Protein backbone atom coordinates (compact mmCIF):
# COMPACT_ATOMS: atom_id res chain seq x y z
CA UNK A 1 0.00 0.00 0.00
CA UNK A 2 2.84 2.37 0.89
CA UNK A 3 4.59 1.66 -2.41
CA UNK A 4 1.37 2.42 -4.32
CA UNK A 5 0.86 5.71 -2.47
CA UNK A 6 4.50 6.64 -3.09
CA UNK A 7 4.12 5.84 -6.78
CA UNK A 8 0.99 7.99 -7.00
CA UNK A 9 2.65 10.84 -5.08
CA UNK A 10 5.57 11.00 -7.51
CA UNK A 11 3.52 10.29 -10.65
CA UNK A 12 3.66 13.20 -13.14
CA UNK A 13 0.27 12.16 -14.54
CA UNK A 14 -1.45 12.16 -11.13
CA UNK A 15 0.25 15.44 -10.16
CA UNK A 16 -0.86 17.01 -13.45
CA UNK A 17 -4.42 15.86 -12.88
CA UNK A 18 -4.27 17.28 -9.36
CA UNK A 19 -3.15 20.63 -10.73
CA UNK A 20 -5.83 20.58 -13.41
CA UNK A 21 -8.43 19.59 -10.81
CA UNK A 22 -7.56 22.57 -8.65
CA UNK A 23 -7.51 24.87 -11.69
CA UNK A 24 -10.90 23.40 -12.58
CA UNK A 25 -12.26 24.98 -9.42
CA UNK A 26 -12.00 28.28 -11.30
CA UNK A 27 -14.53 26.85 -13.74
CA UNK A 28 -16.67 24.90 -11.26
CA UNK A 29 -16.77 27.41 -8.37
CA UNK A 30 -15.37 30.80 -9.35
CA UNK A 31 -16.89 31.22 -12.81
CA UNK A 32 -20.48 30.32 -11.77
CA UNK A 33 -20.24 32.80 -8.89
CA UNK A 34 -18.89 35.46 -11.25
CA UNK A 35 -21.71 34.77 -13.73
CA UNK A 36 -24.26 35.43 -11.00
CA UNK A 37 -22.62 38.73 -9.93
CA UNK A 38 -21.23 40.47 -13.00
CA UNK A 39 -23.04 41.78 -16.09
CA UNK A 40 -22.61 40.16 -19.51
CA UNK A 41 -20.27 43.00 -20.53
CA UNK A 42 -18.08 42.37 -17.47
CA UNK A 43 -18.08 38.59 -18.04
CA UNK A 44 -17.15 39.14 -21.68
CA UNK A 45 -14.26 41.37 -20.54
CA UNK A 46 -13.07 38.82 -17.96
CA UNK A 47 -13.06 35.99 -20.52
CA UNK A 48 -11.22 38.21 -23.00
CA UNK A 49 -8.60 39.04 -20.36
CA UNK A 50 -7.99 35.29 -19.95
CA UNK A 51 -7.55 34.98 -23.72
CA UNK A 52 -5.03 37.87 -23.74
CA UNK A 53 -3.18 36.26 -20.81
CA UNK A 54 -2.96 33.05 -22.84
CA UNK A 55 -1.40 34.89 -25.80
CA UNK A 56 1.89 34.85 -23.86
CA UNK A 57 2.21 31.22 -24.97
CA UNK A 58 2.45 32.40 -28.58
CA UNK A 59 5.25 34.81 -27.66
CA UNK A 60 7.11 31.92 -26.05
CA UNK A 61 7.98 31.17 -29.69
CA UNK A 62 8.25 27.45 -28.96
CA UNK A 63 11.31 27.89 -26.73
CA UNK A 64 9.76 26.21 -23.66
CA UNK A 65 9.16 22.78 -25.18
CA UNK A 66 12.38 22.76 -27.19
CA UNK A 67 14.57 23.95 -24.30
CA UNK A 68 13.00 21.43 -21.91
CA UNK A 69 13.56 18.63 -24.43
CA UNK A 70 17.19 19.69 -24.92
CA UNK A 71 17.74 19.66 -21.14
CA UNK A 72 16.39 16.09 -21.06
CA UNK A 73 18.62 15.02 -23.96
CA UNK A 74 21.69 16.62 -22.34
CA UNK A 75 21.01 15.06 -18.92
CA UNK A 76 20.69 11.67 -20.70
CA UNK A 77 24.25 12.03 -22.01
CA UNK A 78 23.51 13.37 -25.50
CA UNK A 79 26.36 15.52 -26.84
CA UNK A 80 25.03 16.14 -30.36
CA UNK A 81 21.60 17.79 -30.36
CA UNK A 82 21.20 17.13 -34.08
CA UNK A 83 21.84 13.38 -34.09
CA UNK A 84 20.96 12.62 -30.44
CA UNK A 85 24.11 10.58 -29.84
CA UNK A 86 24.70 9.42 -26.25
CA UNK A 87 27.85 8.84 -24.20
CA UNK A 88 26.32 6.37 -21.76
CA UNK A 89 24.59 8.94 -19.58
CA UNK A 90 27.66 11.13 -18.94
CA UNK A 91 26.65 14.80 -18.64
CA UNK A 92 28.44 17.28 -20.90
CA UNK A 93 28.78 20.21 -18.47
CA UNK A 94 29.79 22.76 -21.08
CA UNK A 95 26.84 21.95 -23.35
CA UNK A 96 24.45 21.99 -20.37
CA UNK A 97 25.71 25.36 -19.08
CA UNK A 98 25.60 26.85 -22.59
CA UNK A 99 21.99 25.77 -22.97
CA UNK A 100 21.09 27.39 -19.65
CA UNK A 101 22.87 30.65 -20.45
CA UNK A 102 21.39 30.95 -23.95
CA UNK A 103 17.84 30.21 -22.80
CA UNK A 104 18.07 32.95 -20.15
CA UNK A 105 19.06 35.55 -22.74
CA UNK A 106 16.33 34.43 -25.10
CA UNK A 107 13.55 34.65 -22.50
CA UNK A 108 14.63 38.13 -21.43
CA UNK A 109 14.40 39.32 -25.03
CA UNK A 110 11.07 37.56 -25.64
CA UNK A 111 9.46 39.08 -22.52
CA UNK A 112 10.53 42.57 -23.62
CA UNK A 113 9.03 42.01 -27.08
CA UNK A 114 5.78 40.83 -25.46
CA UNK A 115 5.66 43.90 -23.21
CA UNK A 116 6.12 46.31 -26.12
CA UNK A 117 3.58 44.66 -28.44
CA UNK A 118 0.88 44.11 -25.82
CA UNK A 119 1.30 47.67 -24.52
CA UNK A 120 0.67 49.06 -27.99
CA UNK A 121 -1.18 46.70 -30.34
CA UNK A 122 -2.84 44.78 -27.51
CA UNK A 123 -4.21 47.98 -25.99
CA UNK A 124 -5.65 49.06 -29.33
CA UNK A 125 -7.43 45.75 -29.93
CA UNK A 126 -9.07 45.61 -26.49
CA UNK A 127 -9.76 49.33 -26.10
CA UNK A 128 -13.37 49.14 -27.30
CA UNK A 129 -14.19 46.35 -24.85
CA UNK A 130 -12.45 48.23 -22.01
CA UNK A 131 -14.51 51.33 -22.78
CA UNK A 132 -17.72 49.32 -22.30
CA UNK A 133 -16.92 49.25 -18.56
CA UNK A 134 -17.87 52.49 -16.83
CA UNK A 135 -14.61 52.82 -14.91
CA UNK A 136 -11.23 54.29 -15.81
CA UNK A 137 -9.55 52.00 -13.29
CA UNK A 138 -10.02 49.05 -15.68
CA UNK A 139 -7.23 50.57 -17.82
CA UNK A 140 -4.83 50.37 -14.87
CA UNK A 141 -5.89 46.75 -14.41
CA UNK A 142 -5.03 46.11 -18.07
CA UNK A 143 -1.56 47.63 -17.70
CA UNK A 144 -0.98 45.64 -14.52
CA UNK A 145 -2.01 42.47 -16.33
CA UNK A 146 0.45 43.20 -19.16
CA UNK A 147 3.37 43.74 -16.75
CA UNK A 148 2.66 40.65 -14.65
CA UNK A 149 2.13 38.49 -17.71
CA UNK A 150 5.47 39.63 -19.18
CA UNK A 151 7.25 38.36 -16.06
CA UNK A 152 5.28 35.09 -16.12
CA UNK A 153 6.46 34.64 -19.73
CA UNK A 154 10.07 35.25 -18.64
CA UNK A 155 9.50 32.60 -15.98
CA UNK A 156 9.09 29.94 -18.66
CA UNK A 157 12.87 29.53 -18.50
CA UNK A 158 12.43 28.04 -15.02
CA UNK A 159 9.65 25.73 -16.18
CA UNK A 160 11.87 24.42 -18.99
CA UNK A 161 14.50 23.44 -16.41
CA UNK A 162 12.00 21.64 -14.17
CA UNK A 163 10.46 19.72 -17.08
CA UNK A 164 13.90 18.92 -18.50
CA UNK A 165 14.89 17.38 -15.16
CA UNK A 166 11.70 15.27 -15.39
CA UNK A 167 10.31 16.86 -12.21
CA UNK A 168 6.83 17.50 -13.57
CA UNK A 169 5.31 16.05 -10.41
CA UNK A 170 7.06 18.70 -8.29
CA UNK A 171 6.08 21.45 -10.70
CA UNK A 172 2.42 20.48 -10.73
CA UNK A 173 2.10 19.88 -6.97
CA UNK A 174 3.28 23.39 -6.19
CA UNK A 175 1.12 24.69 -9.01
CA UNK A 176 -1.95 23.06 -7.43
CA UNK A 177 -1.16 24.45 -3.97
CA UNK A 178 -0.75 28.04 -5.17
CA UNK A 179 -3.73 27.95 -7.55
CA UNK A 180 -5.87 26.78 -4.63
CA UNK A 181 -5.08 30.09 -2.94
CA UNK A 182 -5.98 31.89 -6.14
CA UNK A 183 -9.40 30.20 -6.11
CA UNK A 184 -10.00 31.04 -2.45
CA UNK A 185 -9.03 34.71 -2.85
CA UNK A 186 -11.15 35.00 -6.00
CA UNK A 187 -14.19 33.72 -4.11
CA UNK A 188 -13.54 36.16 -1.25
CA UNK A 189 -13.24 39.06 -3.71
CA UNK A 190 -16.51 38.09 -5.38
CA UNK A 191 -18.39 37.71 -2.09
CA UNK A 192 -16.99 40.74 -0.28
CA UNK A 193 -16.15 43.40 -2.89
CA UNK A 194 -17.89 42.27 -6.11
CA UNK A 195 -15.18 44.32 -7.85
CA UNK A 196 -14.30 43.28 -11.43
CA UNK A 197 -10.95 45.11 -11.20
CA UNK A 198 -9.71 43.18 -8.15
CA UNK A 199 -11.14 39.97 -9.55
CA UNK A 200 -9.12 40.23 -12.79
CA UNK A 201 -5.82 41.39 -11.26
CA UNK A 202 -6.01 38.59 -8.68
CA UNK A 203 -5.81 36.07 -11.55
CA UNK A 204 -2.42 37.33 -12.77
CA UNK A 205 -0.98 38.04 -9.32
CA UNK A 206 -1.03 34.39 -8.29
CA UNK A 207 0.67 33.34 -11.54
CA UNK A 208 3.43 35.80 -10.60
CA UNK A 209 3.80 33.95 -7.28
CA UNK A 210 3.90 30.59 -9.11
CA UNK A 211 6.78 31.96 -11.21
CA UNK A 212 8.75 32.91 -8.08
CA UNK A 213 8.24 29.38 -6.72
CA UNK A 214 9.40 27.84 -10.03
CA UNK A 215 12.53 29.98 -9.90
CA UNK A 216 13.41 28.55 -6.49
CA UNK A 217 12.82 24.95 -7.66
CA UNK A 218 14.98 25.44 -10.77
CA UNK A 219 17.84 26.86 -8.70
CA UNK A 220 17.70 23.86 -6.33
CA UNK A 221 17.82 21.43 -9.27
CA UNK A 222 20.90 23.14 -10.71
CA UNK A 223 22.66 23.05 -7.35
CA UNK A 224 21.91 19.32 -7.04
CA UNK A 225 24.07 18.62 -10.12
CA UNK A 226 27.16 20.11 -8.45
CA UNK A 227 28.66 21.21 -11.74
CA UNK A 228 30.93 24.12 -12.52
CA UNK A 229 28.59 26.85 -13.81
CA UNK A 230 31.52 28.74 -15.28
CA UNK A 231 32.32 25.86 -17.63
CA UNK A 232 30.84 27.50 -20.74
CA UNK A 233 32.19 27.12 -24.25
CA UNK A 234 31.38 30.03 -26.61
CA UNK A 235 31.36 27.67 -29.56
CA UNK A 236 28.75 25.60 -27.73
CA UNK A 237 26.73 28.76 -27.09
CA UNK A 238 26.61 29.52 -30.81
CA UNK A 239 25.83 25.86 -31.54
CA UNK A 240 22.95 25.75 -29.03
CA UNK A 241 21.63 29.14 -30.12
CA UNK A 242 21.56 28.09 -33.78
CA UNK A 243 19.74 24.80 -33.15
CA UNK A 244 17.38 26.26 -30.54
CA UNK A 245 16.41 29.18 -32.78
CA UNK A 246 15.82 26.89 -35.74
CA UNK A 247 13.60 24.50 -33.77
CA UNK A 248 11.83 27.34 -31.97
CA UNK A 249 11.24 29.32 -35.16
CA UNK A 250 9.50 26.26 -36.53
CA UNK A 251 7.52 25.86 -33.29
CA UNK A 252 6.59 29.55 -33.34
CA UNK A 253 5.26 29.24 -36.88
CA UNK A 254 3.27 26.26 -35.67
CA UNK A 255 1.97 28.19 -32.66
CA UNK A 256 1.07 31.21 -34.74
CA UNK A 257 -1.01 29.17 -37.19
CA UNK A 258 -2.41 26.81 -34.56
CA UNK A 259 -2.84 28.22 -31.08
CA UNK A 260 -2.53 31.77 -32.38
CA UNK A 261 -5.35 31.45 -34.89
CA UNK A 262 -7.50 29.83 -32.20
CA UNK A 263 -6.94 32.70 -29.75
CA UNK A 264 -7.38 35.41 -32.37
CA UNK A 265 -10.59 33.71 -33.52
CA UNK A 266 -11.88 34.09 -29.97
CA UNK A 267 -10.80 37.72 -29.83
CA UNK A 268 -12.41 38.33 -33.22
CA UNK A 269 -15.74 36.75 -32.27
CA UNK A 270 -15.61 38.26 -28.78
CA UNK A 271 -15.43 41.72 -30.32
CA UNK A 272 -17.64 41.42 -33.43
CA UNK A 273 -20.39 39.23 -31.97
CA UNK A 274 -23.12 40.62 -29.76
CA UNK A 275 -22.34 40.26 -26.01
CA UNK A 276 -24.80 37.36 -25.58
CA UNK A 277 -23.45 35.29 -28.48
CA UNK A 278 -19.77 36.04 -27.87
CA UNK A 279 -19.98 35.32 -24.13
CA UNK A 280 -21.71 31.99 -24.94
CA UNK A 281 -18.91 31.02 -27.32
CA UNK A 282 -16.13 32.12 -24.95
CA UNK A 283 -17.78 30.31 -22.02
CA UNK A 284 -18.15 27.09 -24.03
CA UNK A 285 -14.55 27.23 -25.21
CA UNK A 286 -13.34 27.84 -21.66
CA UNK A 287 -15.17 24.70 -20.52
CA UNK A 288 -13.78 22.66 -23.43
CA UNK A 289 -10.29 24.04 -22.74
CA UNK A 290 -10.62 22.63 -19.24
CA UNK A 291 -11.51 19.21 -20.65
CA UNK A 292 -8.54 19.43 -23.04
CA UNK A 293 -6.26 20.18 -20.10
CA UNK A 294 -7.58 17.14 -18.22
CA UNK A 295 -6.94 14.93 -21.26
CA UNK A 296 -3.32 16.12 -21.75
CA UNK A 297 -1.36 14.54 -18.83
CA UNK A 298 -1.51 10.86 -19.95
CA UNK A 299 0.53 11.91 -23.01
CA UNK A 300 2.29 15.23 -22.34
CA UNK A 301 3.44 14.43 -18.79
CA UNK A 302 5.29 11.47 -20.33
CA UNK A 303 7.25 13.49 -22.90
CA UNK A 304 10.50 13.54 -20.85
CA UNK A 305 10.22 9.75 -20.48
CA UNK A 306 9.45 9.33 -24.19
CA UNK A 307 12.43 11.56 -25.06
CA UNK A 308 14.71 9.23 -23.08
CA UNK A 309 13.32 6.21 -24.95
CA UNK A 310 13.79 7.93 -28.31
CA UNK A 311 17.47 8.61 -27.57
CA UNK A 312 18.20 4.91 -26.92
CA UNK A 313 18.35 2.82 -30.12
CA UNK A 314 17.16 -0.51 -28.64
CA UNK A 315 14.00 1.08 -27.16
CA UNK A 316 12.37 2.29 -30.38
CA UNK A 317 9.68 -0.41 -30.66
CA UNK A 318 8.81 0.04 -26.99
CA UNK A 319 8.63 3.79 -27.66
CA UNK A 320 5.83 3.34 -30.24
CA UNK A 321 3.88 1.01 -27.97
CA UNK A 322 3.94 3.69 -25.30
CA UNK A 323 2.95 6.39 -27.81
CA UNK A 324 -0.17 4.44 -28.83
CA UNK A 325 -1.12 3.75 -25.19
CA UNK A 326 -0.73 7.35 -23.98
CA UNK A 327 -2.35 8.84 -27.09
CA UNK A 328 -5.40 6.55 -26.94
CA UNK A 329 -5.93 7.19 -23.23
CA UNK A 330 -5.75 10.96 -23.78
CA UNK A 331 -8.29 10.97 -26.63
CA UNK A 332 -10.66 8.73 -24.64
CA UNK A 333 -10.59 11.15 -21.69
CA UNK A 334 -11.36 14.14 -23.93
CA UNK A 335 -14.27 12.44 -25.68
CA UNK A 336 -15.73 11.20 -22.39
CA UNK A 337 -15.39 14.53 -20.61
CA UNK A 338 -16.72 16.72 -23.41
CA UNK A 339 -19.54 14.24 -24.08
CA UNK A 340 -20.69 14.28 -20.45
CA UNK A 341 -20.69 18.09 -20.33
CA UNK A 342 -22.64 18.24 -23.60
CA UNK A 343 -25.33 15.87 -22.30
CA UNK A 344 -25.77 17.82 -19.07
CA UNK A 345 -25.11 21.33 -20.45
CA UNK A 346 -28.70 22.54 -20.01
CA UNK A 347 -28.83 21.25 -16.43
CA UNK A 348 -25.51 22.96 -15.64
CA UNK A 349 -26.81 26.33 -16.83
CA UNK A 350 -30.07 25.85 -14.89
CA UNK A 351 -28.17 25.07 -11.69
CA UNK A 352 -25.93 28.10 -12.17
CA UNK A 353 -28.88 30.37 -12.89
CA UNK A 354 -26.68 32.22 -15.37
CA UNK A 355 -27.81 34.62 -18.07
CA UNK A 356 -24.92 33.42 -20.21
CA UNK A 357 -25.82 30.22 -22.08
CA UNK A 358 -23.72 27.59 -23.82
CA UNK A 359 -23.68 27.44 -27.62
CA UNK A 360 -26.35 25.51 -29.57
CA UNK A 361 -26.30 21.70 -29.73
CA UNK A 362 -25.09 21.70 -33.34
CA UNK A 363 -22.13 23.93 -32.51
CA UNK A 364 -21.38 21.83 -29.39
CA UNK A 365 -21.12 18.61 -31.41
CA UNK A 366 -19.09 20.31 -34.15
CA UNK A 367 -16.66 21.70 -31.55
CA UNK A 368 -16.19 18.28 -29.90
CA UNK A 369 -15.42 16.63 -33.26
CA UNK A 370 -13.06 19.40 -34.38
CA UNK A 371 -11.17 19.54 -31.08
CA UNK A 372 -10.80 15.74 -31.01
CA UNK A 373 -9.17 15.89 -34.44
CA UNK A 374 -6.96 18.74 -33.24
CA UNK A 375 -5.87 16.85 -30.09
CA UNK A 376 -5.11 13.63 -31.98
CA UNK A 377 -3.08 15.45 -34.60
CA UNK A 378 -1.09 17.43 -32.03
CA UNK A 379 0.00 14.25 -30.23
CA UNK A 380 0.92 12.49 -33.47
CA UNK A 381 3.04 15.51 -34.36
CA UNK A 382 4.73 15.40 -30.95
CA UNK A 383 5.56 11.74 -31.52
CA UNK A 384 7.40 12.63 -34.73
CA UNK A 385 9.22 15.54 -33.06
CA UNK A 386 10.42 13.40 -30.13
CA UNK A 387 11.61 10.58 -32.39
CA UNK A 388 13.32 12.70 -35.03
CA UNK A 389 14.09 15.82 -32.96
CA UNK A 390 12.43 17.53 -35.91
CA UNK A 391 9.52 19.96 -35.69
CA UNK A 392 6.82 19.27 -38.29
CA UNK A 393 4.04 21.33 -36.72
CA UNK A 394 5.14 24.46 -38.58
CA UNK A 395 4.57 22.69 -41.90
CA UNK A 396 1.29 21.09 -40.87
CA UNK A 397 -0.23 24.06 -39.04
CA UNK A 398 0.90 26.59 -41.63
CA UNK A 399 -0.80 24.68 -44.43
CA UNK A 400 -3.89 23.80 -42.41
CA UNK A 401 -3.97 27.35 -41.02
CA UNK A 402 -4.14 28.81 -44.52
CA UNK A 403 -6.95 26.37 -45.36
CA UNK A 404 -8.76 27.37 -42.14
CA UNK A 405 -8.53 31.10 -42.90
CA UNK A 406 -9.76 30.56 -46.48
CA UNK A 407 -12.70 28.47 -45.26
CA UNK A 408 -13.59 31.05 -42.62
CA UNK A 409 -13.67 33.85 -45.21
CA UNK A 410 -15.97 31.69 -47.32
CA UNK A 411 -18.24 30.19 -44.64
CA UNK A 412 -18.44 32.64 -41.71
CA UNK A 413 -20.43 35.43 -43.45
CA UNK A 414 -23.15 32.92 -44.42
CA UNK A 415 -23.14 30.35 -41.60
CA UNK A 416 -21.89 32.29 -38.56
CA UNK A 417 -20.49 30.55 -35.49
CA UNK A 418 -20.69 26.94 -36.70
CA UNK A 419 -18.22 27.85 -39.45
CA UNK A 420 -15.46 27.99 -36.81
CA UNK A 421 -15.44 24.29 -35.74
CA UNK A 422 -16.26 23.08 -39.27
CA UNK A 423 -13.33 25.03 -40.74
CA UNK A 424 -11.01 23.86 -37.95
CA UNK A 425 -11.75 20.14 -38.29
CA UNK A 426 -11.75 20.20 -42.08
CA UNK A 427 -8.48 22.12 -42.36
CA UNK A 428 -6.70 19.58 -40.13
CA UNK A 429 -8.05 16.55 -41.98
CA UNK A 430 -7.17 18.00 -45.38
CA UNK A 431 -3.46 18.11 -44.53
CA UNK A 432 -1.93 18.12 -41.02
CA UNK A 433 -3.61 14.98 -39.65
CA UNK A 434 -2.79 12.87 -42.71
CA UNK A 435 0.77 14.23 -42.81
CA UNK A 436 1.39 13.32 -39.14
CA UNK A 437 -0.01 9.81 -39.60
CA UNK A 438 2.15 9.25 -42.69
CA UNK A 439 5.40 10.26 -40.92
CA UNK A 440 4.66 8.12 -37.86
CA UNK A 441 4.01 5.08 -40.02
CA UNK A 442 7.22 5.75 -41.93
CA UNK A 443 9.25 6.08 -38.70
CA UNK A 444 7.72 2.92 -37.24
CA UNK A 445 8.54 0.87 -40.36
CA UNK A 446 12.16 2.05 -40.18
CA UNK A 447 12.47 0.46 -36.70
CA UNK A 448 11.09 -2.96 -37.73
pLDDT band at 233, cuts 50/70/90? low
Q: Do 372 and 331 touch, CB atoms closer than 8 A? A: yes
The candidate with the shortest Cα–Cα distance to 251, out of 70, 408, 403, 441, is 70
- pLDDT above 90 covers what percent of the chain? 26
| pLDDT reported for residue 84 | 56
- Beta bridge partner(s), residue 85: 80
Confidence class for position 82, pLDDT limits 50, 70, 90? low
Cβ–Cβ under 8 Å, residues 349 and 284 = no
Is 165 in a helix, a strand, or coil?
coil
pLDDT band (50, 70, 90) for residue 209 = very high
Distance of CA 364 to the CA centre of its chain: 22
DSSP letter assigned to residue 356: S
3-class SS of residue 55: coil
Local confidence band at 395 (pLDDT 50, 70, 90 cut-offs): confident
For residue 104, pLDDT beyond 80? yes
Provide the whole-model pTM. 0.73
C-alpha 92, offset from chain centre: 30
- pLDDT band of residue 285 (cuts 50, 70, 90) is confident
The conformation of residue 1, written as its DSSP 8-state character, comes to -
∠83-103-383 over CA atoms, to 5°? 45
pLDDT for 351-369, tens place per residue? Answer: 666 666 778 888 899 999 9
Q: What is the DSSP letter of 26?
A: I
Amino acid sequence: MKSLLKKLWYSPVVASWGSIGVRGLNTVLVLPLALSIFSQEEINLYLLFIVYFSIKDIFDLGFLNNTARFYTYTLSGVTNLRRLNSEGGKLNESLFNSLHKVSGKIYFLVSIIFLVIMSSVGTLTINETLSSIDSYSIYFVWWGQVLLTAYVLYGNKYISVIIGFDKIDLLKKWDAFIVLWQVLTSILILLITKDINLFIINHSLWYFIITLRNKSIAQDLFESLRIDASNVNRLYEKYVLKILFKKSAQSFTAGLFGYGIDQFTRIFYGNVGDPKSSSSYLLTMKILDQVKQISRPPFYAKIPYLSKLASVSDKHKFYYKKIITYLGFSVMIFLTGSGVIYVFSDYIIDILGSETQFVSNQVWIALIIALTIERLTAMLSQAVMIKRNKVIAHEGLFTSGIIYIAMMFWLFPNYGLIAIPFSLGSSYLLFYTMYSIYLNIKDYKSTV
